[in-house]
Each structure stands twice: as C-alpha cells, then as structure tokens.
Structure 1
C-alpha cells in the first residue's frame, strides 16, 4: 500500500523543464534534496535515488524499516507564482513477497516516518498538508 502526503508550496521548481527530464513532469529534484536533508537532520537515514518518469525516487530507513519515498508535483499554473502547486510525497514500505501476500508491513497515517515527514513540511510552512491512503 502506498500512502500519499499532499501539500502546496512555491519553494521548489514547477516551471522550468530540465534538459535531462525524462518527461515534462519530472519535477522534484530540489524537493527531494531538501526533504532528504531534513530527514537526515532528524536522524533518519535517507538518500536521493533517481529521476522517475513522474518525479523523483528516494529511500529512507527508520526504526528498522525501509521506505521508498517518491516525490512529484504539478503547478497550479498561476501567472504570478509559476512554482506554486501541489506536491505528492508517496511513501511505500519495502516488503517481502510473504508480507505482501499476507497483507503485512503496510504503512498508515500513524506510522512514525509519516508523522516525521508531516512535521517537517508543516514546520516549513507548506499549506494544505493532507495524508491520504
């Protein structure tokens, strides 16, 4: 199960398509670098992995669990705020095949890593923060 944290901000690029983008929507490198840095500051082992066709993929290890954290965003197309938009932070725990078959090892809104990410983005002043299953 993937859990999605959504938020709005203008702190990161949503307006300039990079020459190295796989698709025109591969925004999130600056957000990924920022979030990974904040997670590390909080004592969570985290790394930026790579660009994906929708944004960026990252990893985090917290309390003995490993997570894939993907980030993607879309601009609200405001002429005076080209970088303002909605960001998705999609979190999926890494699970074994047996865990998947048994429905074990899922993530929920009460998971400590989710709480930490929500705390980080809220403290940074992001708006419309929501956690969606």
Structure 2
C-alpha cells in the first residue's frame, strides 16, 4: 500500500519531453531533485534513483524507516501555463516478505514522512497539498 501526496504548481517541467524519456510522461527529474534537497534540509535522507515509465523513483529514509518515493506529474494543458499541473509524491514503506504476507507495517497517512513531505510542499508555497490514501 502506498500513500499519494498531491500538490499543484508550475515550478517544474510538464511541457517539454526530454530526449531520454522512456515515455512522453516521464516528467519529474527536476521536481525529484528539488524534493530530495528540500527533504534533506528537513532531516530526511533521500536520494534520486532513476527514471521510470511514469515519472521518477527515489529513496528516502526517515526515523529508521526506508521508503520508495515516486514522483509523477501531469499538466493541465493550459497554453498560457504549460507547466502548471498536479504532482504526485507516492510513498511506500519498505517491508519484508513476511510483513507483506501478513498485511503488517503498511504505509499510512500517519507515517512521519508523509507529514514531513506535506510540510515541505506547503512551506514552498505549492497549491492544494493533500494526502490521498
């Protein structure tokens, strides 16, 4: 189970596909780099990992818990604001096979990293920051 944190902004590229994109929707490298740095300032160990077919995958560790932190965005297709759109920060706790089998240690909106991501996004002035379980 993952938790999806959403926000809206025009600070990052959502309009010009990169020459190295796997798919036309692999936006998020600039957002991921910014988020990793912003989270580091908030005491979270985070690192950029790689492009995925939907966006970018990153790692994060906070208060002894490791997470997969994926980023994806989609534009509102407004010619006046081509980079304005919704960004998703998807968090999933690293769990053992046994925890997955038993349904234990699932990611929840109450995870401390979720609150920290929300705080970082709100402090940066992003719009409509919300946790979508």
State the TM-score, normalized to the length of structure 2.
0.98
- Give a deviation string over 1:20-69, Cα, whole Å, max 9, x none: 00000000000000000011111111100000000000000111110000
Ranges in structure 1 where 5+ consecutive residues have no aligned partner = none
In angstroms, what is the RMSD of aligned CA positions?
0.6
The CA deviation at 1:99 is 0.5
**Counterpart of 2:48 in 1: which secondary structure?**
strand
- 2:14 aligns with 14
Distance 1:36 1:97 in 2: 27
Find the counterpart in structure 1 of residue 39 from structure 2: 39
Structure 2, gaps ≥5 residues long: none
> Aligned partners of 1:108, 1:94: CA distance in 2, in Å?
13
Alignment-derived partner of residue 60 in structure 1: 60
3-state DSSP class of the match of 1:98?
helix
Give the 3-state SS of the residue equivalent to 1:101 in structure 2: helix
**Normalising by structure 1, what TM-score?**
0.98
Q: How does 1:47-126 map to 2 (within 5 A)?
A: 47-126=47-126
- CA apart distance, 1:117: 0.2
CA distance in 2, matches of 1:79, 1:26: 20
Distance 1:40 1:128 in 2: 23
* In structure 1, distance between residues paired with 2:103 and 2:47: 27
**Poorly superposed stretches of 4+, deviation over 2 Å:** none
